[in-house]
Amino acid sequence: MMDAINKRVSYDIGCMKSLRKLPDRVSLKFMDLMTRYMSDPSANGLNLETVEGAKDSSIKSLRVDQGYRAIAFEVGRDIMFVHVNEHDKAYRWAVGRRVKLDPSTNRIRVIEELDATKVEAEAPAPSEPRLFAEVADKRLRALGVPDEELPAIRALTTIEALDAAEEDFDPLTYQVLYALAAGYSDEEVYALTGVAEEPQVAPMAVDDDRTFDQLIETEESRQTIFIPESQEELRRVFEEGLEGWRVFLHPDQRKLAYRDYNGPAMVRGGAGTGKTVVAMHRAKHLADAIKEDPARAGQRVLLTTFTTSLAYDIEANLRTLCPDHLDARPPRIEVINLDRWVSQFLKRKNFAREVAFFGEARDRLDQIWQEVFDDHELPDGLSEPFVKAEWSQIVQAKGLTDKRAYLKASRSGRGTPLDRRKRATLWDLFEDYRARMISEGLAEPDDAYREATEILSSEAPNLPYATVIVDEAQDMGEQAFRLIRAIVPETPAGDQNSIFIVGDAHQRIYGRRASMSSCGIEVRGRSRRLRLNYRTTQEIRAWAVSILEGVSVDDLDEGTDTLRGYVSLLHGAAPELVACASEADELEGLVAWVRALPADQIQLADIGVLCARRKDVERVREALRAAELETVVLQSGADDRSVPGVRIATMHRAKGLEFFAVAIPFLSDGAFPPPGALKSAVDAADREDIITQYRSLLHVAATRAKKALRVSWSGAPTGLFGDSPQK
């Protein structure tokens, strides 16, 4: 065996996928072998053995235990593990594989060489249509597909066959094929895969001096090859159940996260496209740069989002991805929801008023409103709910502080028109409300944002933030983004890597909206859209998208967005749409569904039951407990999946989470949207906005499901379904 001390061990994504299909004891033995070697390679060398009959002399095997073998490629000082399986299966897998150094795509690829004659002999009858019959070999080569895989591609007949053969293809080849099957143009395929347009298509020259050692370091290779930097990082990958997307980003995701921008940038995309993952990797990338530069000691990345629960979930994931940045003193990444950040900032600045986020302070604001209404006569045709909505959606959202500004303000989307006289009357009422609120020592969240923005703009405080990353941007309003711009203002030196925003207006569930440019955040020319859904099957995605049929949404700036080209990479069963005789039958059917899920493939912690109302959460909990099924009700705080039990949560709380299987009960016409929400509408336009929010909420809930979705109702179903439910 060669000198082990000089060896560098890496892991192809195929190795990680194969391990997850094996018994835990095998994964643990493999992990133990790898970590012991990394901690002391001289004492625990890897005894690699030649694979008899292999086409590539660099392919080796390693004994994990008596029944299992790991397959690796040993090239110079590098050992790259690519597969783990039972003894005979591992050897059969290894015989036809070889490492291909591919300068045309700037990466290392693991290719299976197949005999074209043998493949064709085993292929379906010639009369059966082939999936890529209309795609020429020359075009496939130009997109990055190697010659060795063309015979297997020509044998494919359906998209389902392509899905089943995923592990038989190099990851780049599979991405190219799936994009072509989904109808993408060549230009779109290049953009999605990260392959330069018109790469070199001729076979690699014999005297090419690009070595394995050099190609494994490229960004393209690192999309599918993991090189742990420490024993601790390696253990996190194996022990903490790190999902592939946290280590291996898809090329279009990686390009967005790991690059420099000369100003604010924005990433949009449908549910499951990995926006939050990109934001997390963006935070890691920028924190890595801070760590490497002694002159930047003390700087940090602020990663903020709308709700406390989402902030907890993101921080928990970052503790798996890059715990050193969170544990550094001071931390190089700070994760906090924006309301909490503002509250802490104003407290340090001795802000004299209490911000009424919730609780008694919020109740007192309702009392102040009633006192104001008692002392003022409303203009004809206007109601108290309408006036409060006008205050919230126009005056506070736009930061209007004087009568003249309100008289001139656009009220687009508010429905009920207001002439100048009515606006003037309302302003007198608004001024009275604001004065009473201040005298009581209270402030609304928008007031807090505005106050913090004014402080930051006037005194140029010495904040430690080099950049702000915003997740779930669609749920934040104008005042929030004006504050974010103030936290990292443009400087005379420029605006490089200052603000990074991710969001999707199709998932707006809180009714707030803002135009980036109107808040001083210019993202034009630096706005990108993700289109591949990595979480949800195509069948579930299609149903969830149908809920939004006919709904027009903005692009988080001053344009409109679309889900055109938004596709899933996975296929599975269609959503189960169940009509029940009563809500009691719904609960009984829900219990039966949970019990019927395959226990060998799914744990209770990977099942989510999502409800529109808090009272329904408790009803589901009681039904499952009565059936002796463990449950966990998700409220605030991160979801610790090591705690067993079916997860039960409101649809709002489920934002940012994902489950193997999801059930959404109580979607009858009289229960969803909740009657109370519709009664609160102040006019027809407001009612339509509320309905749109609940469409988005159902869309969000459905797209939490990875493989299985059950939707149920009793009586007539909600009118929000995009397609007619199947009885």
**From the annotation, which residues make up the binding site for ATP?**
269-276
| Residue 501, beta-bridge partner list | 266, 470
Question: Tokens 């993991």 — which residue?
Answer: 226
What is the distance between the alpha carbons of residues 10 and 81, in angstroms, rounded to a whole number?
6
Question: Tokens 């190219």 — which residue?
Answer: 176
Nearest 5°: the CA angle 704, 710, 715 is: 125
407: Cβ contacts below 8 Å, ≥ 6 apart? 420, 423, 424, 427
Q: Which residues of 583-606 are buried (b: 16+ CB within 10 A; e: fewer)?
A: beebbebbbebbeebeeeebebbb
Binding-site positions: 269-276
Answer for the pair 472, 506: CB distance below 8 angstroms, yes or no: no
Pair of tokens at residue 637? 């705080």
What is the distance between the alpha carbons of residues 239 and 244, in angstroms, rounded to a whole number?
13
| Residue 98, beta-bridge partner list | 111
What is the distance between the alpha carbons of residues 651 and 133, in angstroms, rounded to a whole number?
44
Within 10 Å of residue 452's Cβ, how many Cβ atoms? 23
Q: Left if phi > 0, otherwise alpha if psi is -120 to 50, otherwise beta: which for 170?
A: beta
Pair of tokens at residue 134? 């209309």
What is the distance between the alpha carbons of residues 302 and 369, in angstroms, rounded to a whole number?
36
What is the distance between the alpha carbons of residues 250 and 419, in angstroms, rounded to a whole number?
53
Question: Tokens 């993408």 — which residue?
Answer: 184
Within 10 Å of residue 644's Cβ, how many Cβ atoms? 11
| Residue 80, beta-bridge partner list | 10, 73
Answer for the pair 470, 310: CB distance below 8 angstroms, yes or no: no
Within 10 Å of residue 693's Cβ, how many Cβ atoms? 16
Pair of tokens at residue 353? 């008023």
Question: Tokens 């009793």 — which residue?
Answer: 714
Task: Count each helix (H run) and each strand (E run) in the chain, helices first.
Answer: 30, 26
Q: Which helix (H) or strand (E) holds 412?
A: none
Within 10 Å of residue 431's Cβ, how many Cβ atoms? 15
The beta strand positions in 235-317, using DSSP E, are: 265-269, 300-305
Answer for the pair 387, 418: CB distance below 8 angstroms, yes or no: no
- Amino acid identity for residue 277 in this structure: V
**Helix residue ranges per DSSP H, 322-444:** 323-327, 338-348, 359-375, 384-390, 397-398, 403-408, 420-439
DSSP labels, 73-113: EEETTEEEEEEEEEHHHHHHHHHTEEEEEETTTTEEEEEE-
What is the distance between the alpha carbons of residues 316 and 246, in angstroms, rounded to a whole number?
12
Nearest 5°: the CA angle 431, 419, 560 is: 90
